[in-house]
A and B are shown apart, each in its own frame.
Chain A
Amino acid sequence: DQQVKQNSPSLSVQEGRISILNCDYTNSMFDYFLWYKKYPAEGPTFLISISSIKDKNEDGRFTVFLNKSAKHLSLHIVPSQPGDSAVYFCAADNAGNMLTFGGGTRLMVKP
């Protein structure tokens, strides 16, 4: 089942630069998308979300972009900080309150 895919298992970025994490989905019934951050031995922490009626949502250093025609979303973190180093998951919901997760991207922000 590959309804939500994160094709980059890891990403390394210099502190202060932009981090761009990507996510693709196949199910056109998904109408809500979320990004979670996860540290080892902890549960996923909600970061930011976007409804399918929007193409952008911004919250501080985090911006999520949604391209419905391409079935693609991305998370931009500007500026990146060493504390942002974690695994980032995108997740999608089809109004059934059941999230489908991608495989995660490990972000490493170097000082």
Chain B
Amino acid sequence: EPEVTQTPSHQVTQMGQEVILRCVPISNHLYFYWYRQILGQKVEFLVSFYNNEISEKSEIFDDQFSVERPDGSNFTLKIRSTKLEDSAMYFCASSYMSGEQYFGPGTRLTVT
């Protein structure tokens, strides 16, 4: 069964450093998403991406964040200058149309 994959599973970085989180969505899906879950809190929407552009973004997704689909398979989330409060699980998701979104296993980002 096709699944969303994410790398790395755990990323440790120092405050102020740039990080890139990578995702490979399900191959025939058209919509791509990033969510995050800070420890003990809800899963929060960050951004959705369709047809090579951002379709929706939340207030969390400020100028420090960017997304890219550099080739036909990868979908990346870049955080330019990480802060302590960026520490969270980051989940990539994809969907064929609107509706059911399928999530990857997540990347745990730890900012020290």
Chain A residue with Cβ nearest B43? A101
Pair A46/B31 contact, Cβ less than 8 Å: no
Looking at the complex, which one of A95, A97, A98, A102 makes contact with B42 (CB distance below 8 Å)?
Answer: A102
Pair B100/A99 contact, Cβ less than 8 Å: no
Pair B98/A97 contact, Cβ less than 8 Å: yes
Pair B102/A46 contact, Cβ less than 8 Å: yes
Pair A43/B48 contact, Cβ less than 8 Å: no
- A101 to B103, alpha carbons, bound, how many Å? 13
Interchain pairs with CB closer than 8 A, number: 61
For chain A, give the interface size range.
20 to 34
Taking the nearest CB of chain A, how far is it from the CB of B9, in angstroms?
9
Pair A44/B43 contact, Cβ less than 8 Å: yes
> Contacts A42-B105, A44-B91, A98-B56; is A49 near B99 (CB within 8 Å)?
yes
Pair B103/A100 contact, Cβ less than 8 Å: no
What is B's interface to A at a CB cutoff of 8 Å?
A: 4, 6, 31, 33, 35, 42-45, 48, 50, 55-56, 58, 91, 93, 95, 98-106
Not counting A42-B105, A44-B103, A99-B43, a sample of 12 additional A-B residue pairs whose C-beta atoms are within 8 angstroms of each other reads A32-B98, A32-B99, A43-B4, A43-B6, A43-B93, A49-B100, A97-B31, A97-B56, A97-B101, A98-B56, A101-B43, A104-B42
